[in-house]
Amino acid sequence: MGFNAKDFRDLDPGDRVLMGPGPSDVSQRVLRAMAATCVGHLDPYFLEVMDETQRLLRYVFQTENPLTIPVSGTGSAGMETCFVNFVEPGDEVVVCVNGVFGTRMADIVNRLGGRLIQVDAEWGRAIDPEAVRKAVEGRSPKIIAVVHAETSTGVLQPLEDLSGIAKESGALFLVDTVTSLGGAEVAIDKMGIDIVYSGTQKCLSCPPGLSPISFGPKAIEVLEKRKTPVVSWYLDMTMVQSYWGAERKYHHTAPINMIYALREALRIIAEEGLEARFARHLLNHKALVAGVEAMGLSMHVPEAERCPTLNTVSIPEGTDDLKVRKTLLQEFSLEIGGGLGALAGKVWRVGIMGHACRKKNVFLFFGALESALTAQGVKVTPGAIEAASAVYASA
């Protein structure tokens, strides 16, 4: 077979507005930081960047935990890190499942030989704390795990009651914040979260490739008392923490330029301020919901349980889901996501995260969606822009 380097074109994906479940839009500042000169993973300059990245991560996580670092891998690597470091064969682990990512947690517990105690809720509803309380009654679970913002459903899970149940039962409280960190309140010290992970590609508006984690004092104590070695060498925090700590002991070659990018993305968040950032996400979420409902469409999740960063819109009857999403991408360079698992073909997942969380993108979504639906003969009520504008005006 012949080979010609000229057969491979220059990379040029064109413009995109990323309003799906992730990745989200990335600032040019972050892309420029990513293109800075690559240095060695033990270069003194890079060690300073590591320290600064940790400080910024603690700010965004609202924690004093020393072991607060980005794991080299996407959000799923963060999930696996949190479970492999704490679950040993025979450990009882309560996993709350109301979507795809709770299901993944449960799968990992089973693979590790843990004794899974699964608490289920309808996909599109929050977990009932009383169901968790009943599940732990008479037991001594090592971990209670839950997804804060379930990416597959758009549910934002209240954490305070579950944190209290974990404390009462002596369990570590483990939380997935992949779709909430940087867009909704994640105050892990105040909320009593012992183990947490996230991802860079959602509300942090950094390319995918790193998974921020943080382990609290109680978690570190449990980690140090493990009876068996961590089953994953690469994700073993008993070793990795020595590279990120004062020892600077080599473990693996860090993704230098991705950490440059994360540092810049976190710096942008610090410049905006957490409260202002949360308020921006909530305002654009309310405007998007107002416009969607004005169009005659409905949201999948009840108002009190909606995640402000990831919105699930019920697909109108008679609509070709895939055709709508293709139209948005091809004609408007706008990406939204389809449903996953039990919600496949039933909802659209519309993200307004980080750099993409803007009024102009909300308005673009309304116009693009109305155009795509009208082309299919789906009736759309006019007034989305007016309804959203009223929300913005009231703010």
Checking if the pLDDT of 72 tops 70, the result is yes
Domain boundary among 270, 297, 325: 270
Please check whether residues 218 and 318 belong to one and the same domain. no
CATH code, 65: 3.40.640.10
On the question of pLDDT at 332 being above 80, the answer is: yes
For the cut 80, the answer to whether the pLDDT of residue 2 exceeds it is no
Question: Domain span at residue 357?
Answer: 274-394
Are the beta carbons of 329 and 335 closer than 8 angstroms? yes
Distance of CA 346 to the CA centre of its chain: 22
Q: What global pTM score does this model have?
A: 0.96
Q: Mean pLDDT score of the chain, rounded to an integer?
A: 97
CA-nearest of 84, 49, 311 to 197 is 84
**The two three-digit tokens of residue 358, written as one number:** 């803007």
d(CA 210, CA 74): 5
19 occurs within a structural domain: no
150 and 190 together in one domain: yes
Mean pLDDT, residues 296-307: 98
Residues 39 and 171 in one domain: yes
My answer on whether 280 and 252 are in the same domain is no
Domain assignment present for 12? no
Each as own residue / partner, the long-range contacts of residues 368-371 (CB below 8 Å, 24 or more positions apart, any chain) are 368/327, 368/328, 368/331, 368/332, 368/334, 369/295, 369/324, 369/328, 370/295, 371/327, 371/331, 371/332
Q: For 208-212, what is the mean pLDDT?
A: 98
> What is the percent of the chain with per-residue pLDDT over 70, rounded to a whole number?
100
Is residue 67 a contact partner of residue 220, using CB atoms and an 8 Å limit? yes
Q: Nearest Cα to 301, choosing from 284, 313, 288?
A: 313
Q: What number is the average pLDDT over the span 72-99? A: 97
Give the residue from 218, 242, 270 where a domain finishes: 270
Same domain, 201 and 287: no
Same structural domain, 291 and 368: yes
Q: How far is CA 289 from the centre of its chain?
A: 20
State in Å, rounded, how far the first CA of the chain is from the last one: 63
**pLDDT for 7-47, tens place per residue?**
898 999 999 999 999 999 999 999 999 999 999 999 999 99
- What is the pLDDT, as a whole number, of residue 34? 97
Predicted confidence at residue 394, as pLDDT, reads 95
| Same domain flag for 241 and 293 | no
**Other Cβ atoms within 10 Å of 253 Cβ, number:** 10
- The pLDDT score that the predictor gives to residue 82 is 98
In the chain, the percentage of residues whose pLDDT exceeds 90 is 95
Average the pLDDT over 312-317 and give the result. Answer: 96
What span, in angstroms and rounded, lies between the C-alpha atoms of 179 and 196? Answer: 12
What are the tens digits of pLDDT across the range 249-289? 989 999 999 999 999 999 999 999 999 999 999 999 999 99
Domain shared by 368 and 243, yes or no: no
Q: Give strand pairing partners of 118.
A: 95
Q: Please state the domain count of the chain.
A: 2
pLDDT, tens digit (0-9, with 9 covering 90-100), for 356-388: 999 999 999 999 999 999 999 999 999 999 999
113: left (phi over 0), alpha (psi -120 to 50) or beta: left
* Cα(164)–Cα(168) distance, integer angstroms: 6
Mean pLDDT, range 219-246, rounded to an integer: 95
| pLDDT at residue 99 is higher than 90 | yes
Examine the fold and report which residue of 270, 291, 324 is the final residue of a domain before the chain moves on.
270
pLDDT bracket for residue 52 (50, 70, 90): very high
Q: Give Cβ neighbours of residue 366 (< 8 Å, ≥ 6 apart).
A: 291, 295, 384, 385, 388
pLDDT score for 1 = 60
Q: How far apart (Å, rounded) are the C-alpha atoms in residues 150 and 288?
A: 19
Cα separation, 191 vs 355, in Å, equals 26
Residue 187: how many other CB atoms lie within 10 Å:
13
